[in-house]
């Protein structure tokens, strides 16, 4: 069967990793790989989708892959960084992002965190009226170059995954736009605070259709227009439209940034007429397709007439897939010990992980060529989340993550992004 170019590239990388000892059935049972060439191409595609006439800062949502070398790589491509915790803020600064290229979006910012951000000149999106009151006191005591906005919940509804929908009527995020009296209260907040010059919205991510996302942005652009008209001055000068472009986990098809901007042009044309600066906060859509995870099959068995392959990849790196398989299914490919794609008749089998609970399954009744001990399974589309945000169940060590570049002559070069965690390090983080 003919492989896609993407599949051929993955196999080429996998074979090289085995030859170079980055995957080994005794020493390196599990590893993740990020294709840095493909990351650069994704960033270029994102940039091309937005009109060059509009001043736009594309930030990467650090939660999607918080490894400092990955953040540093994205910085070299001109990206900014969106952070949602003090840890992510520290990682962004360590990666070298200038403060005016960092956006701080946590819904639970402390006074000390706000003060730190304002002192550095980091962009801040306030989540609620109480946070605005904290900002009042902090700004009265200092000058700041920070761009400051309010996260508005446009309340346009949810997508197919409730947990990923952040613009529902009862979402914990932002100030609800459609609640009784909220619109006027928001207008008053801007009237009383001339330093409020931005507005922010994020409708959701996986499971959210593009039109729903665009409708949320449209309502926020409409609100920005309303602020400026009602105040009789051009106070709101920038709109942060968030990120959240969904990823197709059923194929190699990459997220279509151009299709999203087409929806934005239709729903919110004022976003692109030159009156506003724009910030985006894409994460998973930039990285997911550009990474995969490989794990060895340790044992195979049969139960109730169904074959089971016990692998070294499970809930510790595929937490969402294990606990919400319907919402977060993964494509899995079967490979022999040399990395070559396995062929032959598909056998319906479970792909299980190493964690000590019955639900630790990457796939149930998945048709794949029969797996045997020493084979490898490859989890596709895992460049975002997954190995970069491990779950420390059973005190399993964090796997190594490797960056990959391929030279024009086909040579695969690996770059360490995070070394495999040692047992000594596991003991250290567990008080040993």
424 with 309, same domain? yes
361 with 229, same domain? no
205 with 349, same domain? no
60 with 178, same domain? yes
CB 425 within 8 A of CB 397: yes
Number of domains in the chain: 2
Q: Could you write out the three-class secondary structure of the chain?
A: CCCCHHHHHHHHHHHHHHHCCCCECCCECEEEEEEHHHHHHHHHHHHHHCCCCCCEEEEEEHHHCCCHHHHHHHHHCCCEEEECCHHHHHHHHHCCCCHHHEEECCCCCCHHHHHHHHHHCCEEEECCHHHHHHHHHHHHCCCCCCCEEEEEECCCCCCCCHHHECCCCCCCCCEECCCCCHHHHHHHHHHHCCCEEEEECCCECCCCCHHHHHHHHHHHHHHHHHHHHHHCCCCCCEEECCCCCCCCCCCCCCCCHHHHHHHHHHHCHHHHCCCCEEEEEECHHHHHHHEEEEEEEEEEEEECCEEEEEECCCCCCCHHHHHCCCCCCCCEEEECCCCCECCCCEEEEEEECCCCCCCCEEEEEEEEECCCCCCEEEECCCCCCHHHCCCCHHHCCCCEEEEEEECCCCCEEEEEEECCCCHHHHHHHCCC
113 with 26, same domain? no
Q: Which residues of the chain have pLDDT under 50?
A: none
**CATH for 339:** 2.40.37.10
Dist CA 222 CA 204 (whole Å)? 19
Dist CA 370 CA 308 (whole Å)? 10
Please tell me the predicted confidence (pLDDT) of residue 208.
72
136 with 213, same domain? yes
**pLDDT, tens only, 76-117:** 999 999 999 999 999 999 999 999 999 999 999 999 999 999
CB 77 within 8 A of CB 100: no
Q: Which of 288, 306, 336 is the last residue before a domain boundary?
A: 288
108 with 200, same domain? yes
Please tell me the predicted confidence (pLDDT) of residue 166.
58
Dist CA 124 CA 118 (whole Å)? 8
**CATH for 58:** 3.20.20.10
26 with 43, same domain? no
Dist CA 11 CA 200 (whole Å)? 41
Q: Which residues of 33-72 are buried (b: 16+ CB within 10 A; e: fewer)?
A: bbbbebbbebbebbeebbeeeeebbbbbbbbbbbbbbbbb
234 with 136, same domain? yes
Range of the domain at 315: 5-35+289-429
Q: Which of 288, 309, 342 is the last residue before a domain boundary?
A: 288
273 with 131, same domain? yes
282 with 304, same domain? no
Backbone angles phi, psi at 412, to 5 degrees: -95, 125
Q: Which of 240, 262, 288 is the last residue before a domain boundary?
A: 288
CB 82 within 8 A of CB 243: yes
Residue recorded with tokens 């796997």: 399
269 with 388, same domain? no
């Amino acid at each position: 069967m003919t492989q896609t170019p993407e599949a051929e590239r993955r196999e080429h990388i996998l074979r090289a990793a085995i030859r170079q000892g980055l995957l080994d059935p005794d020493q390196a049972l599990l590893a993740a790989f990020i294709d840095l060439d493909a990351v650069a191409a994704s960033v270029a595609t994102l940039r091309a989708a937005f009109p060059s006439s509009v001043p736009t800062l594309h930030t990467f949502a650090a939660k999607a892959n918080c490894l400092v070398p990955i953040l540093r790589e994205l910085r070299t491509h001109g990206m900014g960084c969106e952070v949602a915790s003090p840890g992510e803020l520290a990682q962004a600064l360590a990666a070298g992002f200038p403060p005016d290229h960092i956006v701080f979006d946590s819904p639970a910012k402390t006074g000390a965190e706000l003060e730190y951000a304002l002192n550095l000149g980091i962009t801040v999106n306030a989540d609620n009226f109480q946070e605005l009151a904290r900002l009042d006191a902090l700004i009265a005591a200092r000058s700041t170059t920070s761009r400051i906005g309010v996260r508005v919940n446009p309340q346009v509804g949810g997508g197919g995954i409730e947990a990923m929908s952040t613009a529902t009527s009862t979402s914990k995020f932002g100030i609800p736009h459609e609640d009784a009296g909220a619109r006027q209260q928001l207008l008053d907040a801007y009237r009383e605070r001339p330093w409020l010059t931005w507005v922010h919205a994020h409708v959701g991510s996986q499971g959210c259709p593009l039109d729903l996302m665009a409708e949320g942005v449209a309502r926020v652009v409409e609100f920005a227009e309303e602020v400026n008209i009602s105040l009789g001055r051009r106070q709101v000068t920038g709109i942060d439209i968030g990120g959240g472009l969904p990823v197709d986990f059923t194929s190699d098809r990459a997220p279509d940034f151009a299709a999203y901007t087409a929806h934005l042009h239709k729903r919110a044309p004022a976003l692109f007429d030159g009156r506003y600066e724009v910030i985006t906060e894409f994460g998973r859509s930039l990285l997911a397709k550009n990474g995969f995870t490989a794990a060895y099959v340790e044992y195979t068995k049969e139960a109730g007439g169904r074959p089971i392959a016990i692998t070294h990849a499970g809930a510790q790196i595929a937490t969402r897939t294990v606990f919400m398989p319907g919402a977060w299914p993964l494509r899995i490919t079967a490979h022999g010990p040399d990395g070559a794609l396995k062929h032959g008749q598909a056998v319906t089998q479970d792909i299980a992980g190493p964690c000590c609970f019955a639900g630790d399954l990457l796939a149930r009744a998945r048709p794949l060529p029969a797996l045997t001990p020493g084979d490898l399974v490859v989890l596709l589309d895992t460049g975002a989340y997954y190995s970069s945000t491990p779950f420390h169940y059973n005190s399993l060590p964090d796997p190594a993550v490797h960056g990959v570049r391929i030279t024009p002559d086909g040579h695969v070069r690996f770059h360490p992004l995070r070394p495999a965690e040692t047992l000594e390090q596991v003991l250290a983080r567990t008080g040993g």
